[in-house]
Structure 1
Amino acid sequence: MTALKLAVAGASGRMGRMLIEAIQNADDLTLAGALDTPASPALGIDAGAFLGKAANVVIESDLAKGLASAQLLIDFTRPEGTLKHLEYCAAHGIKMVIGTTGFDQAGKDAIAEAAKKTAILFAPNMSVGVNVTMKLLELAAKSFSHGYDIEIIEAHHRHKVDAPSGTALKMGEVIADALGRKLDDVAVYAREGVTGERDPSSIGFANIRGGDIVGDHTVLFAGIGERIEITHKSSSRVTYAHGSLRAARFLADKQTGLFDMQDVLGLK
């Protein structure tokens, strides 16, 4: 079996290194490219150097060089960087697994348009556990559609730059869809001062940033006389890496189209 040739964006970052290590340990995948920003001190260094074993792939900032041998790019960077990579990949038929969060609607539209030219898997969270949790939330929301207030609480490390997290927003979207609502119409992202009574149709968000929390998400369904909490906690980014490789394998035989982890896990 021919190994699927993968490239990793943000190769010197925490997630990038986790992905590189996971690829190096997979028999059916091979590291074929590594990208980082032009200002990165890691440019020109072997992508596997941090593991103490050469990957024979040099970290590049030039997309043509970094993606010359790649069939698929895994990207967990920032929206502006991902969109540049997206444009190049769409033009050259390189597939993408996108785990970047914080896109505005224009960015999401650009991803959908690029998926007409190449296969893309776009998900705010690549964890298998999180995506199974999404399905549980859909089922719960339908059962708790009346008489229960819905709040989403998320916690992440101090370096995270967007809030609410992409995962929390996706949870909100899943719940709103299950209730026949649009998240934009019912989301409450901040409360301060005299806010009045809670709108029973709203979905509230609360965000915590501190320390080295990898990612905790809890959805609270608060009724009269009972509370139901559905929680997922990540203790390591390795779950995101393994989910991303599963996503890459899913895209191996796809030519075009936009997919998510629900497709990978057969939960739709």
Structure 2
Amino acid sequence: MDKPLRILIHGASGRMGRALLRLAADAPERWQVVAAVAGRAPLQRVVDGIPQFAAAELSGVPDFDVAIDFSLPEGFEPVLAQCVKRRRPLVSGTTGISAGQRQALEQAAATIPVLWASNFSVGVAVLNELVEQAARALAGWDCDIVEQHHVHKKDAPSGTALTLGEAAVRGGAEPRYASLRAGDIVGEHTVQFAGQGERVELVHRATSRDIFARGALQAATALAGRPPGLYTLRDLLFGQG
């Protein structure tokens, strides 16, 4: 890439948004944040050289190559609409979106390249594959998914747990869910298969949000220049699909 990828960060004041800003700043030769968008009006219009915008000002942001969205469900449709209007790709990790919003994402894929993922960790992408394989091999076993996150996380079960559940269903299992909210846990997911006299556990533990932010930046880089379509993290990071 001759020039750094111009990125719009939507949800810039959240935990993931702050991690994206920090990691992008560490590699200016790869990524240039041209706008940071948050829900509330900014106290400063420019911070560390990055223009700041309120969500209500989204239509006025400068041009960008890819938008990365880690906001709330109510902010998802405006950024999707702005990407469609400008014919720019969207990478979104906003969880808790509705069935109607998923449908809007699929419709947008006819016009722009889009990727929504509940988790941008490469390890979790591998875990999804393992869960589907285990469910297929352990037919008839009980399947339980336990997820743990920090006390400020609102949706439960987590989007990652639901995605793991979809993988289990593809393999023929019928997953059940349990959620814990405690302290500052970044994210922990356990998929347990229990049979008669034995048990298999597949576990992923995240100790830093940087893994998610780094995966989202990698996905944004891979999505740039792609034809319109609905992509998965597996497509972009592993070259499969």
TM-score, with length taken from structure 1: 0.84
Q: Indicate conservation of the 8 Å contact 2:12/2:37, yes or no.
A: yes
Question: Hey, what does 1:210 align to over in structure 2?
Answer: 182
Deviation at 1:41, TM superposition (A): 4.5
Q: Indicate conservation of the 8 Å contact 1:135/1:267, yes or no.
A: no
1:157 aligns with 2:150: yes
Question: Hey, what does 1:254 align to over in structure 2?
Answer: 226
1:58 aligns with 2:58: no
Pick the aligned partner of 1:115 from 109, 114, 119. Answer: 109
Deviation at 1:40, TM superposition (A): 4.2
Deviation at 1:267, TM superposition (A): 4.8
Change (3 A) 1:42 1:158: farther
1:33 aligns with 2:26: no
Matches of 2:225 and 2:78, distance apart in 1 = 24
Deviation at 1:111, TM superposition (A): 0.7
Change (3 A) 1:252 1:229: same
Identity of aligned residues (%): 38
Larger % of strand: which? 2
Deviation at 1:43, TM superposition (A): 5.0
Deviation at 1:12, TM superposition (A): 2.0
Pick the aligned partner of 1:224 from 196, 201, 206. Answer: 196
Matches of 2:138 and 2:208, distance apart in 1 = 31
Deviation at 1:256, TM superposition (A): 0.9
CA offset digits 1:101-122 (Å, max 9, x no partner): 1012111101111111111111
Gaps in structure 2 of 5+ consecutive residues: none
Question: Hey, what does 1:17 align to over in structure 2?
Answer: 18
1:79 aligns with 2:73: yes
Question: Hey, what does 1:50 align to over in structure 2?
Answer: none
Gaps in structure 1 of 5+ consecutive residues: 47-53, 180-200
TM-score, with length taken from structure 2: 0.93
Deviation at 1:262, TM superposition (A): 1.2
Equivalent positions of 1:83-232 (< 5 A) are 83-146=77-140, 148-179=141-172, 202-232=174-204
Larger gyration radius, structure 1 or structure 2: 1
Superposition misfits of 4+ residues, deviation over 3 angstroms: 40-43
Deviation at 1:266, TM superposition (A): 3.0
Q: Indicate conservation of the 8 Å contact 2:134/2:171, yes or no.
A: no
Q: Indicate conservation of the 8 Å contact 2:146/2:190, yes or no.
A: yes
Q: Indicate conservation of the 8 Å contact 1:36/1:43, yes or no.
A: no
The alignment of Structure 1 onto Structure 2 pairs a total of residues equal to 236
Deviation at 1:215, TM superposition (A): 0.6
